[in-house]
Chain A
Amino acid sequence: MSAVAPVGGRDERLAPTSTLRKLLARPELGSVVGAVAVFVFFSIAAPSFLQASSLSTVLYSASTIGIMAAPVALLMIGGEFDLSAGVMVTTSALVSSMFSYQMTANVWVGVGVSLLVTLAIGFFNGFMLTRTKLPSFIITLGTFLMLTGLNLGFTKLITGTVSTKTIADMEGFSSARALFASQWNIGSVTLKVTILWWFAIVAVATWILLRTRAGNWIFAVGGGADAARATGVPVVKTRIGLYMGVALCAWISGQHILFSFDVVQSGEGVGNEFLYIIAAVIGGCLMTGGYGSAIGSAVGAFIFGMTSNGIVYAQWNPDWFKFFLGAMLLLATLLNAWVRKRAEATK
């Protein structure tokens, strides 16, 4: 880094910062470096990785994680966790499918009911957290276990089996499929609509964080709830809002799974909450809150997509996948910490 030219007679806090320095101070910088490294690595290790069709598969894979990683990143910037995010996706798909089927209603009715139910779960998480003052880890761990049980129990009770019945022949299915699970084939490349959803969600999340008052509240609550409350930030509203944001995206993911596969297995989704958290952390979110970015979560999800598919394209044994994921999480977090230190040192 070049030394800062002394600014004669002016307050140093008003000194203009260079673009480079602004870039260095961004939370997602470390993850971008990591993403480039992973990309180059798999381009060399797996010959079929660089095909357009493979890259579209990687993007799709990243989008399924990224749609959830963005609201989870916001929640983590707000200083909280959501361990129920993974099964909530399955819950949302199950409610949608079973409500439509049992009521013989238009599929869109099920989709609407599912939105209300999923938002209610998000509200419950936030409400319990703000009311009980228990750590969010405990609250959402409870929700996670309860939802896992409800998914299995209700599905068995209502359908008599462990998965939902097909709703592909019902009214509204094709239009809902177009919204949540359509795809365009351009030659050998398949672009799925989730990629658009993902970009839109990341854009909205970034706008909220950087351009609105709510964004300032999120940073303030994550940085220190008591100080934030003292300065007039609506802490309760912010936290509940963050959990409902996670629920909204869980609903989008759930509908995507339902309309791309038509039948939902009741036992799925367990463990995915950690993938969302990993994507957010690789993207520069701190576990302690108050720091991070939505764009970072997208880069984290992209790294995840490259790794999970790259291992297959490289024709390695997928037994090693979890090991790579863990090693990458550590490396990315170390890199983030190092970049952040450098950025702060040159301020």
Chain B
Amino acid sequence: MGAVLAAVLGASLAGCSSTGGKRAEERAKAAEAGRPAVSTPRWTFAMVTHAGDGDTFWDIVQKGAKEAAAKDNINFVYAHDDQAQQQAQFVQNAIDQKVDGIVVSLAKPEALKDVLAKAVKAGIPVITVNSGSAQSAEYGALTHIGQDEVIAGEAVGTELDKRGKKRAVCVLHEQGNVGHEQRCAGAKKTFSGTMENLYVEGTNMPSVQAAIQAQLQADPSIDAIVTLGAPFAPTAVKAKDAAGSKAEVDTFDLNASVARDLKSGALGFAVDQQPYLQGYEAIDLLWLYRYNANVLGGGRPVLTGPQIVTAAEAAKLEEYIKRGSR
């Protein structure tokens, strides 16, 4: 037993990598400032989102929020659930705890209407992020920070036209998500070719690949595939290769493998909504409101996207993506 352990340790020490890995990550972490830069009291801000478990995108939002909280001397509390009832429950929990501010995503606005009214009545400032720009002001939130999904979709349609595409597939990986429907609808609106929706089971990657593959085999004239989440882009590329199709894969959102594939040309473009900014700004704006009664946006949503990212920008963004902030 001891001998085996020693052998493993020895081997891992002898075989050090001078690039990447945990050590590079630690160096990057040490470079980030983790001390508060202000002397305001330690307020507690709660963030409640509709994210499912283990979601990359929301992880980045959370990172932005956490780093803003560290700067602004905020005690940051996070809770999430993809079921509306549970999300409303978490907002109620935050009110019970008498937090000093609430950040909430309104993917299912009606479900949160009553509980947000309660928060406003209790005098807790609310900022909505990511989804729910239409309801934000009506429910008494100070500001909405996010990307208008229809506008983002329209940007995709325009970009596809620019690239001379004729037949596109929009891959929806979450049945029941209103924002996803809006993205595909927006893309359809501005795209002069034809676009079809393909519903796949996002929690099951092999079945996602099989579904896209089947679609490409059934219709060889498809020349563009648009996925709605970064993790699905590499899968779509695999499906394309397996089906022997020449279609270009484009995606919403970024992650490390998307950046790599953009650089290598395996992906056409990505539409970024800067999740880091959504989390960071939400906390920072709550702090500003508490500290100085500032409100941003003039009653209109503050947009964090869409940003079209192509091979040229991908190279620059790669290191930020690697550290998990883009």
Q: How far is the CA of A319 from the CA of B52 in the complex (A)?
A: 10
Selected interface stretch from B92-100, B266-274, B315-323: B92-100
Q: State the Cβ distance, A61 to closest chain B Cβ, in Å.
A: 6
In the assembled complex, the Cα of A322 lies from the Cα of B53 at a distance in Å of 10
A257 touches B85 (CB 8 A): yes
Closest CB in chain A relative to B51 CB, distance in Å:
10
In Å, the complex CA distance between A57 and B77 comes to 18
Residues of A within 8 A of B85 (CB): 64, 257, 261, 268
Quick check: is A212 within 8 A (CB to CB) of the other chain?
no
Known: A48-B98, A265-B176. A260 touches B114 (CB 8 A): yes
A263 touches B92 (CB 8 A): no
Question: Is the CB–CB distance between A57 and B96 below 8 Å?
Answer: yes
Does the CB pair A162–B178 fall under 8 Å?
yes
Q: How far is the CA of A317 from the CA of B80 in the complex (A)?
A: 10
Whether, in the assembled complex, B90 has its beta carbon less than 8 Å from a beta carbon of chain A, the answer is yes
B82 to A, closest residue via Cβ: A268
Residues of B within 8 A of A319 (CB): 53
Interface residues of B in 101-131 (CB under 8 A from A): 108, 110-111, 113-114, 118
Which B66-104 residues have C-beta < 8 A from chain A?
75, 77-81, 83-86, 88-90, 92-98
A222–B96 Cα distance when bound, in Å, is 43
Q: Is the interface of B mostly helix, strand, loop or mixed?
A: helix
Whole-angstrom CA separation of A51 from B175 in the bound complex? 39
Q: How many angstroms from the CA of A59 to the CA of B179 in the assembled complex?
A: 33
Is A313 an interface residue, CB under 8 A from the partner? Answer: yes
Contact of A161 among B84, B92, B181 (CB under 8 A): B181
- In contact, A152 and B175 (Cβ under 8 angstroms): yes
Q: Which of A162, A166, A308 contacts B177 (CB under 8 A)?
A: A162
Verify B93–A309 contact, CB threshold 8 A.
yes
**Cβ contact of B96, chosen from A166, A263, A268, A313, cutoff 8 A:** A313
* Inter-subunit contact A313/B108 (CB<8 Å): no
Max chain A Cβ within 10 angstroms of own Cβ: one of B53, B83, B86, B95: B83
Chain B residues near A262: list those with CB within 8 A.
Answer: 110, 113
How many residue-residue contacts, CB under 8 A, span A and B?
A: 84
A267 at the interface (CB under 8 A from B): yes
Bound: A317/B75 CA distance, A: 13
Beta-carbon contact of B90 and A312 below 8 Å: yes
Known: A265-B108, A268-B83. A61 touches B89 (CB 8 A): yes
Whether A267 lies near B98 (C-beta < 8 A) is no
User: Is A317's CB under 8 angstroms from B78's CB?
Assistant: yes
Chain B's nearest CB lies how many Å from the CB of A164?
10
Q: A54, B96: Cβ atoms under 8 Å?
A: yes
Decide if B89 touches A309 in the complex (CB within 8 Å): yes
| A 255-313 contacts with B by CB, 8 A | 257, 260-263, 265-269, 272, 308-309, 312-313
Q: Cα distance A268–B92 when bound, in Å?
A: 20
List residues of chain A with CB within 8 A of the CB of B84.
261, 265, 268
Contact with A along B164-179 (1 / 0, CB 8 A): 0000000000111110
Binding site for B on A (CB under 8 A): 48, 51, 53-54, 57, 60-61, 64, 152, 161-163, 166, 190, 257, 260-263, 265-269, 272, 308-309, 312-313, 315, 317-319, 322
Can you add 18 more A-B contacts, CB < 8 Å, to A162-B181, A267-B176? A48-B96, A57-B92, A57-B96, A162-B176, A163-B176, A163-B178, A166-B110, A261-B84, A261-B108, A261-B113, A269-B83, A272-B83, A308-B86, A312-B93, A313-B96, A317-B78, A318-B78, A318-B79
Nearest 9 Cβ contacts at the A-B interface: A267-B176, A263-B110, A261-B111, A312-B93, A54-B96, A162-B176, A48-B97, A262-B110, A318-B79
Complex A-B: 19 CB contacts under 8 Å: A51-B96, A53-B95, A152-B176, A162-B178, A163-B108, A257-B85, A261-B85, A261-B108, A261-B110, A265-B84, A266-B175, A267-B175, A267-B176, A272-B83, A308-B89, A313-B97, A315-B75, A318-B78, A319-B53
